[in-house]
Chain A
Amino acid sequence: MEEILKGIKAGEERAVARAITLIENNPSERERLLQGLYPLARLPYLIGITGPPGSGKSTLSEKLIRAWRARGIRIGVIAVDPSSQSSGGALLGDRIRMGDVAVDQGVFIRSMATRGALGGLNPVVFDTVLLLSAAGYDYILIETVGVGQNEIDIVNLANTTLIVTIPAAGDEIQSLKAGLMEIGDIFVINKADLAGADRMVLTLEQMTALEGATEESWLPPVLKTIATSGEGLPGLIEGIDRHYQYINKYGLLEEKRKVIIKKQLISLLEKRLKERVLEPLIGSAEFKRAISRMLNFEEDPYTLVEKLLQEKGV
């Protein structure tokens, strides 16, 4: 463990990679790791990018990383893909589009499967963000397929969230989940050379305008790109810069962090309370007695719950 921590401090990739595996696989080692890591962690700038399969997220990511690298920014990438529900395995293909940014020494890319995690704050992703910040990465890009609540929750960690979609005929709004509309800071219509792009821009602009822009609130821009040729990329990079300035001006980086660490503390408390209070209670004789009393309609569940908790001193 000491060795891994030393390696992370020195920015050694092997140590960082091993530590992520510990975070994924081994809850008790993970706790020890995080205890050692916390004093080293910093507040990184988190960018989330999400959208349906085939919308060009990875190609866009590659272009963004290239532009940021030109400014000397070090970037960590967490590419999340769903695990197969039947086999538990996963196919992680986000590296395919990464090209030679994958060998850039200032870029660390890690693919990750969701492993059946329920929604909410995904502790594995969150702890990996902390780890990458401690290893000296300035920007952390989280890529997910925007299909389920799980993915939305992961992207919701981000300070700036990009929602990527492509021009679609007809039911264009159907392709964007309501939850995605709410968390998007920038909407990107990629493959904008396909028919219907302008109409899609218009529709999305009407939807975002409904959020009601005041002086201090952010009006999410709707931008067209063609990731493969690089068209529209300068506009997207500028849009991200503007959002970064905006969140800094209003102290939103800190504020978001506060919201997230509060959530993290609550979910850790829930877990420990479950282990230390709820689970022993469920295994107790009083609990069995309560069930039989309910079965016979001798006592109602509300009274019984209060009694059970009182016996435990809660």
Chain B
Amino acid sequence: MAEQKIKVLIAKPGLDGHDRGARVIARGLREAGMEVVYTGLRQTPEQIVRAAIQEDVDVIGLSILSGAHSYLFPEIMERLKKEGADDITVIAGGIIPEQDVGALKELGVKMIFNPGTSIQEVVDFIKKEIQG
């Protein structure tokens, strides 16, 4: 029992109802030995941040296809900061246009994965980020 496990929250903010990608990632991370909390569809920024704090995760992975990232991500990052939880690594994936990436990274989103990213790339990124 005495072992360090990387714990990841996979959340889908916003209103689109497609979580296949999020589920594939969640499974892939589990297969890589991580403990993955999956919160399901249509999560508000408040729900995501509260879950991340209670679960004490190392990483939050946000999956978004609706295009509302420029509206939802700032709120999530702000709430994390307010709760003193901005040490949690935030990554994102889904459909995020190239021109928005810079602004999101400026907010503190560590990495944005485009469609076509392999699970191994995500696993490697998380391991490097958390375990150094």
B-contacting residues of A (Cβ < 8 Å)? 13-14, 16-18, 20-21, 24-27, 83-84, 87-93, 95-97, 100, 102-103, 108-111, 113, 115-117, 123-124
CB of B35 within 8 A of CB of A90, answer: yes
Pairs A-B, 5 closest by C-beta atoms = A96-B40, A89-B30, A17-B56, A89-B33, A21-B56
CB of B83 within 8 A of CB of A14, answer: yes
CB of B54 within 8 A of CB of A108, answer: yes
Name the distance in Å between B4's Cβ and chain A's nearest Cβ. 5
Q: Which residues of B contact A116 (CB under 8 A)?
A: 1
The total of Cβ contacts below 8 Å across the A-B interface reads 92
Name the distance in Å between B50's Cβ and chain A's nearest Cβ. 5
User: How many of B's residues come within 8 Å of A, CB to CB?
Assistant: 32
For this complex, 13 residue pairs linking A to B, each with C-beta atoms less than 8 Å apart, are A25-B5, A84-B31, A87-B31, A87-B33, A89-B30, A89-B32, A89-B33, A89-B36, A90-B36, A92-B37, A95-B39, A115-B5, A116-B1
Mask, B37-66, CB within 8 Å of A = 1, is 111100010110011011110000000000
Q: Which residues of A contact B53 (CB under 8 A)?
A: 13-14, 17
Name the distance in Å between A177's Cβ and chain B's nearest Cβ. 24
Q: Which residues of A contact B26 (CB under 8 A)?
A: 91
A-contacting residues of B (Cβ < 8 Å)? 1-5, 7, 26-27, 29-40, 44, 46-47, 50-51, 53-56, 83-85
CB of A14 within 8 A of CB of B5, answer: no
Q: Which of B1, B83, B85 has the most CB of A within 10 A?
A: B1
In the complex formed, the residue of A with least CB distance to B10 is: A91
Q: How far is the CA of A17 from the CA of B84 in the complex (A)?
A: 13
- 7 further interface pairs, Cβ-Cβ under 8 Å (given A89-B5, A89-B35, A102-B51): A14-B83, A24-B5, A89-B30, A89-B33, A91-B27, A93-B37, A115-B5
Q: Which residues of B contact A96 (CB under 8 A)?
A: 38-40
A25-B4, A92-B35 known; A14-B27 Cβ under 8 A: no
CB of A13 within 8 A of CB of B54, answer: yes
CB of A95 within 8 A of CB of B32, answer: no
Name the distance in Å between B132's Cβ and chain A's nearest Cβ. 17
CB of B47 within 8 A of CB of A14, answer: no
In the complex formed, the residue of A with least CB distance to B7 is: A21
Q: How far is the CA of A297 from the CA of B55 in the complex (A)?
A: 57
CB of A25 within 8 A of CB of B33, answer: no
CB of A95 within 8 A of CB of B56, answer: no
Q: How far is the CA of A123 from the CA of B50 in the complex (A)?
A: 26
Q: Which of A89, A96, A109, A111 has the most CB of B within 10 A?
A: A89
Q: Which residues of B contact A14 (CB under 8 A)?
A: 53, 83-85
CB of B29 within 8 A of CB of A89, answer: yes
Q: Which residues of B contact A84 (CB under 8 A)?
A: 30-31
